[in-house]
Copies of this chain bind each other. A is one copy, B any other.
Amino acid sequence: MGPRKPLIGVIGASKPKNRDPENAVAVGRLIASKGWIVICGGLEGVMEAVSRGASEKGGVVVGILPGGKASDANQYVTIPIATKLGYARNAVIAQAADSLIAIGGGPGTLSEIGHSLSFKKFVVGLDSWAVPGMIPAASPEEAIAFTEKQLKKLGLI
């Protein structure tokens, strides 16, 4: 096989606000268009929106689920990983992702941001928490541009 495809963690709340759903759909489309893989929590809200966007472009979506049933995944997840780890699965998403994009988000997303930054991962924020070390982006396109630069730095593209 050729080199593996980058895994982009997309994190955000199950109850999104304002422009979060549109942003997540746009981010999903852009990730899939680049040939990258979405890794997310696999449930509803931002997770479903990014999955839908990636799915529209034929992308692969890995859903790291907190529960034990693959059927918990939203309908756009192509590879459901039913962990039954509860929200310890947030640490797995942060660890497994090559780079992350946070869209909006509540305290669960904050836990993922904290894990990601403590793992020295690159985290772009789109209308998200403002935590030192995160890179704010003004649009889905900018979030992807920052992510692309990071993937190049990591030698993954």
The interface residues of chain B lying within 8 Å CB-to-CB of A75 are: 1
The interface residues of chain B lying within 8 Å CB-to-CB of A62 are: 62, 79, 81
The interface residues of chain B lying within 8 Å CB-to-CB of A88 are: 83-85, 88, 91-92
Kindly supply a per-residue 1/0 record for chain A positions 76-119, scoring 1 wherever the CB is within 8 Å of any chain B CB and 0 otherwise. 11111111111110111001101000000011111111111111
Task: State the copy count for this chain.
Answer: 4
A-side interface mostly:
mixed
CB <8 Å contact, A107 and B111: no
Q: In this assembly, does A143 line the interface, its C-beta being within 8 Å of a C-beta of chain B?
A: no
CB <8 Å contact, B114 and A111: yes
- The number of chain A residues touching the other chain, given as a range, is 35 or more
Q: In this assembly, does A47 line the interface, its C-beta being within 8 Å of a C-beta of chain B?
A: no
CB <8 Å contact, A4 and B70: yes
The interface residues of chain B lying within 8 Å CB-to-CB of A87 are: 84, 91, 95, 115, 118-119
Q: In this assembly, does A10 line the interface, its C-beta being within 8 Å of a C-beta of chain B?
A: no
Kindly supply a per-residue 1/0 record for chain A positions 2-17, scoring 1 wherever the CB is within 8 Å of any chain B CB and 0 otherwise. 0011010000000000
Binding site for B on A (CB under 8 A): 1, 4-5, 7, 37, 39, 55, 60, 62, 64, 68, 70, 73, 75-88, 90-92, 95-96, 98, 106-119, 131, 133
